[in-house]
Amino acid sequence: MSQLTASRAAFPDTKPHYNILDGLRGVAAITVVCFHIFEAFATSHLDQRINHGYLAVDFFFILSGFVVGYAYDDRWGKMNTKDFIKRRIIRLHPMVVMGAIIGAIMFYTQGCSVWDVSVVPVLALFIATFLNMLLIPATTGTEIRGVGEMFPLNGPSWSLFFEYIGNILYALFIRRLPSKALAVLVFLTGCGLAAFAIFGPLGDLCVGYSLTGTEFTGGSLRLLFSFSAGLLLSRVFRPAKIKGAFWICSLAIVALLAVPRIGGAEHLWMNGIYDTLCCIAFFPLLVYLGASGKSTDKYTTRVCKFLGDISYPLYMVHYPFIYLYFAWVKNNDLTFEESFPGAAAVVVGSIILAYICLKIYDIPVRRYLANRFLKPRNSINN
């Protein structure tokens, strides 16, 4: 999700680069990996450790709206809808394909009591891989893991599915809205998001990965509010002077995502209020602070660059190893303490793999596709 880097490649040397936002994206991505590790020990949303890690997706969506608005809102005299969509596909889709391939390669190593991969025909796996590579959600006949995921080979692809929807809506409709109309859209979708979180059946926003009515509705509200809010923020943004913004915001992100479940099963609405506050108030504030701050020392700058570089690849390659870790824990009835070396290996190994994929696959492929399919900067027109 380092779209800032992509926008620089598309329009070099035109705007300042928010490297702290890249760093914060990386912090959130690592927190997501840790959140997913603890799924192996949770019986429900109520007892999941790093309990609110799922809200990192809402933070990503807000960042995406902010970055897309910042990079593209004033480019439409030089770029049309087709150009924009091509740029977004080139930026996002190579790692969608890689995540699907890794998931397919590892699929038959992930069998456990929760899903029996041994009964899945090879042909079904090929079909699922092809669908995941094209970001086409699985249906009842193609959901080969059997737990209702849109993308059973690489679960987090669901948020990219919604990311694409957000980008298409932006290109066709949302970008045309004046700021006042955009503010109304943010308000209305925020009300819908709050109603779903507070009064909905789950008491949280950990939804979107399935095509069921509740899941798809919740995922759509998460995207529509957060992406639109980020876009609005990019239009009204006026930086302040913030010292130590990266470290302050990083600690805040980890703290917000690690808060234990609030209210329990008896008071689901209490947790819904917390989720709503994170999405509507805390995350936009963190994006504002991160965009306002500047990394003034080489160490912070290097940390932000590294975290930003690996953030999207890490998000897209780690989950097949979560399936493997989950199966290992379940098959051997392990506690977290007993499985800690494996958990650490998943985190560290995923970061290393993300960096390798970035350097030898993602960057070269995007460079090739950009040279092949994008117009030179000076010839971009409607």
State which H helix or E strand residue 197 sits in. helix 179-199
CB atoms within 10 A of CB 197: 29
pTM for the model stands at: 0.93
Cα–Cα distance list, 177 to 143, 160, 226, 236, 337 (Å): 38, 24, 16, 14, 52
Q: What are the residue ranges in the chain where pLDDT is below 70?
A: 1-14, 376-382
Residue 172: per-residue pLDDT: 96
* Three-state DSSP class for residue 357: helix
* Three-state DSSP class for residue 195: helix
Phi/psi for 307 (5° steps) reads -65, -40
Residue 356: per-residue pLDDT: 98
| Angstrom distance (rounded) from CA 50 to CA 60 | 17
Residue 274: per-residue pLDDT: 98
Instruction: Give the chain's radius of gyration (CA, Å).
Output: 20
Burial class (CB in 10 A: 0-12, 13-18, 19+), 127: middle
Residue 376: per-residue pLDDT: 62
Q: In sequence order, what DSSP letters do the residues of 139-192 get, joined into one string?
A: -TTT-TTSS--SSTTSTTHHHHHHHHHHHHHHHHTGGGS-HHHHHHHHHHHHHH
Residue 296: per-residue pLDDT: 79
Place of tokens 């590579």: 133
Amino acid at 222: R
Cα 99–105–109 angle (5° rounding)? 115
Residue 4: per-residue pLDDT: 43
Cα–Cα distance list, 227 to 19, 236, 280, 377 (Å): 20, 15, 11, 26
Dump pLDDT digits (tens) for 312-367: 999 999 999 999 999 999 999 999 999 999 999 999 999 999 999 999 999 999 99
Nearest Cα residue to 254 out of 57, 60, 26, 31? 31
Amino acid at 54: Y
